[in-house]
Structure 1
Amino acid sequence: MDHRDFVAGLAPEVRADLTAVSDGPGVRHLAGHLGAIALVGGLIAAGVPGWWALLPVQGVLVVFLFTLEHEATHKTPFRTPWLNEWAGRLAGFLLLLPFEWFRYFHLAHHRWTNIEGRDPELAGGKPEGWRAWVWHVSGLPYWGSEARLLAALVRGRAEGDYLPQGAKGRIVAEARWMAAGYGAVLASFFWTPVPLWVWIVPVVLGQPVLRLYLLAEHGDCPKVANMFQNTRTVFTTALVRFLAWNMPYHVEHHVYPAVPFHRLPALHHLMRQELRVTAEGYAAFTRGYLQRRL
């Protein structure tokens, strides 16, 4: 069975139940996620004893807003459209990842998942060998790539065959607003170092954790069209599932992207016998990934 057969085999009432969107679960989840960021950030800003040890914790909390931005491209975290739009934009600003651009990049990834020459996520390749893996996981290639992307968009160069012509104006405009926002943050350093310690340093420290997490989604999966084969679900803790907005259920998400994050556990229950590529945690995936490259 491939992913299309699975979805076609679901009863209409089951599909309707799985894909029903609402604001409540997303608002509660976002309140918890932002609340944790505000709490840890407040402790750092207050300079509590050992505040420096909280920097990577804050970083992980902030960088995993990527999974909210990712979900917002599908317009599923919330029923209210503007909540999806602004949640995606907020996360994108914090992560140097323009939401308007990322929406089309990510939808192209869904359409051509793991297909060489079509999936834009494969453009940079997956790390081969220890040195390439360390460089990738450091997060430095990510920051360099996003800085170059933002600079190009600010100059009006919105390129990529997955970008609709009609969307390029919005993509460029958002990038320019983001650049202005970053300029304001930099100017604020004349008055306070708080943004540096509660946002910028933490996201640099937290990015390697996100790189490890994202590598497990499709790394070492067959380059075929069947979502049951080209995507991996990772069995992990409730805390990681919370931080990642249930996206460790990644096969489930790719098989049926219209299902909102809070219904992915129910979808997992329906398809768990069909799963072909899984991992028992991110440490186990990483060990296997590296062993295959020794």
Structure 2
Amino acid sequence: MDHRTFIAGLSASERARLTEKSDAKGLVMLVLHFGLIALFGTLITLGVPGWQFLMIVQGILIIFLFTLLHETVHGTAFRSPWLNDWVARICGFLIAVPSDWFRYFHFAHHRHTQDPDKDPELATGKPETVWQYIAHVSGLPTWRNEFQTLIRNAMGSSRDAFVPKNGRRKVRREAIVSLALYATLTAGSVAVGSDILLYVWILACLLGQPFLRLYLLAEHGRCPFVANMLENSRTTYTNTLVRKLAWNMPYHAEHHSYPTVPFHKLPDLHRLTKAHLGATSNGYTEFHANYLSDLKGVSG
């Protein structure tokens, strides 16, 4: 069964139940996620024993705001459109992925998932050697690409095919504002002689990025280049902590099959699609062990 056949087979009441959004459920998760960021940021600022190791946790919490950004650009984190919009902008700013640009990028990814010629996520390719895998997981190429994109967008020199002509001015304005705010915060920190932002945000994000790379690689890595969303996207079975951190996006085949289903309804959708999933992994350790065994240059 492909995803279109599955969706067509749902009753009107099932569709209504699965796509019901909630401000309350979204706000509970939002307060929890940002509350933990504030907590660990405070502990790092106070210099509690072991604060250096807490930077890793802080970085993971901040960089996984990508999954909240993802949910908000779909308009499914909250019922209220203005909440989705503003939370998306805040998350995008914190991880250097502006929300307007990402919305165009991500919707193109949904329209052309696993199409080597049209899916923008495949533009840079997946790691095919051990060294490519190490570089990818480090997150350094990601930071380079993100800031190069920001600068190109701010200069108006980007010609990303997925950004429509009538959206380029908005994307440019967004990039200019983002870069101006980064410069202002940097200058302000230097002026007052404070290194708080360096430790609770910038270095923390550098430490957290590899964990997001490991997570995201499982979403489509080694999935077939087919149109069926139940096959070209992977659901990864994992623990409650990871599912909460990632706003239930480990249910990724489910999300791609029916992207208007909000995060808190994805477990329900999973129960309906489980028998039809073509790509699953029993945890991220299993996925990466299998991925590494397939890379060029791995002996035995």
TM-score between the two structures when normalised by the length of structure 1? 0.99
CA RMSD of aligned residues (A): 0.7
Among 211, 230, 233, the alignment partner of 1:231 is 233
Matches within 5 A, 1:235-254: 235-254=237-256
Count of aligned pairs? 294
Q: State the alpha-carbon separation in 2 of the partners of residues 108 and 46 from structure 1.
A: 43
Structure 2 matches for 1:129-144, cutoff 5 A?
129-144=129-144
Taking the aligned partners of 1:203 and 1:110, their CA distance within structure 2 comes to 27
Summarize deviations over 1:194-230 as a string: whole Å, max 9, x none. Answer: 1001000000000000000000000000001011111
- 1 CA distance for matches of 2:22 and 2:54? 34
Q: Secondary structure at the match of 2:171?
A: helix
Unpaired runs of 5+ residues, structure 1, are none
Counterpart mapping for 1:121-132 below 5 A: 121-132=121-132
**1:64-98 deviation line (CA, Å, top 9, x unaligned):** 00001111111110111111011111111111111
The residue that corresponds to 2:294 in the other structure is 292
Cα distance between partner residues in 1 of 2:142 and 2:114 = 19
Question: 2:233 is aligned with what amino acid?
Answer: T
Amino acid across the alignment from 2:241: L
Structure 2 residue aligned with 1:277, among 266, 279, 282?
279
1:160 Cα offset (Å): 1.5
Asked whether the equivalents of residues 18 and 263 of structure 1 are also in contact (C-alpha less than 8 Å), the reply is yes
Residue in 2 that maps onto 1:175: 175
Q: What secondary structure does 1:127 align onto?
A: coil
Task: Report if the CA contact (8 A) 1:114-1:122 is conserved.
Answer: yes
Does the CA contact (< 8 Å) of 1:158 and 1:171 recur in 2?
Answer: no
1:39 corresponding residue in structure 2:
39
Q: CA deviation digits over 1:104-142, x for unaligned, max 9?
A: 100000000001111000000000111000000000000
Is it true that 1:87 corresponds to 2:87 in the alignment? Answer: yes
Where does the alignment leave 5 or more consecutive residues of structure 2 unmatched? none
Structure 1 Cα separation of the partners of residues 150 and 288 of structure 2: 31
Mapped partners of 1:181, 1:58: distance in 2: 21
**How many Å apart are 1:158 and its aligned residue?**
3.7
What is the aligned partner in structure 2 of residue 6 from structure 1?
A: 6
Tell me which stretches of 4 or more aligned residues in structure 1 moved more than 4 Å.
none
- Residue 154 of structure 1 and its aligned partner are, at CA, apart by 0.9
Percent same amino acid among aligned pairs? Answer: 51
1:64-79 to structure 2, matched below 5 A, reads 64-79=64-79
> What CA distance in whole angstroms lies between the structure 2 residues aligned with 1:145 and 1:89?
19
What TM-score do you get using the length of structure 2 for normalisation?
A: 0.97
How far does residue 157 in structure 1 lie from its aligned partner after superposition?
Answer: 2.4
Alignment-derived partner of residue 221 in structure 2: 219
Could you tell me whether the CA contact under 8 Å between 1:236 and 1:280 is conserved in 2? yes
Report how far residue 21 of structure 1 moved: 1.1
**1:164 pairs with 2:173:** no
Alignment-mate amino acid for residue 97 of structure 1: V
CA distance in 1, matches of 2:102, 2:140: 19
- Counterpart amino acid of residue 84 in structure 2: N
Please show how residues 197-208 of structure 1 align to structure 2 within 5 Å.
197-208=199-210
